[in-house]
Amino acid sequence: MFKVKSQIEFDMAHYLSGYDGKCSNIHGHRYKLIVSVKSETLHQEGQLRGMVDDFGNIKARLKEIEDLYDHKLVIEDNEDGRLVAQKLSELPNAFKVMLVPYRPTAEEMSRDIFYKLKDMGLNVSEVELFETPTNSCTYSED
């Protein structure tokens, strides 16, 4: 089995609804996303000969993930989260808020990103999302 890895980083703020502690504040992280793409075989001909997939192709998919989350504020789509988003939308700042159907933890986000990349056609083996330099979650289905 071959596994190739590629990584990107993006800046994102989140709000953990119902969290008791310092992380109950809206706050942000410099996320690092490491994606592993797998294949039993290598391409035999053409541009991709000798490769699982072109790193350039994987990077292009990761850029779509980066563009989705970079400099956004991610909030859970529940009663509490919608209230926070509503109050922010009343300000003249045009905050970029993204509502998601889950609490935006490293665990939930890594699973969501795994399926987003699969939907883009990557044969994803594993997604590791670092929320801080020392805290990460890995999602895989192997």
Ligand X SMILES: Nc1nc2c(c(=O)[nH]1)N=C([C@H](O)[C@H](O)COP(=O)(O)OP(=O)(O)OP(=O)(O)O)CN2
Q: Could you list the active site residues?
A: 23, 71, 131
Q: Is 116 left (phi over 0), alpha (psi -120 to 50) or beta?
A: alpha
Measured at the CA of 124, the angle between CA 57 and CA 128, to 5 degrees, comes to: 100
Q: Which of 61, 73, 131, 139 lies at the binding interface for ligand X (CB under 6 A)?
A: 131
Q: Which of 12, 73, 106, 122 lies at the binding interface for ligand X (CB under 6 A)?
A: 106
Binders of ligand X among residues 56 to 75 (CB under 6 A) are none
**Considering the rule CB under 6 A, would residue 128 count as an interface residue with ligand X?**
no
Give the residue carrying structure tokens 């991610």. 74
**Considering the rule CB under 6 A, would residue 23 count as an interface residue with ligand X?**
yes
**Considering the rule CB under 6 A, would residue 105 count as an interface residue with ligand X?**
yes
Measured at the CA of 51, the angle between CA 44 and CA 1, to 5 degrees, comes to: 95
**Considering the rule CB under 6 A, would residue 135 count as an interface residue with ligand X?**
yes
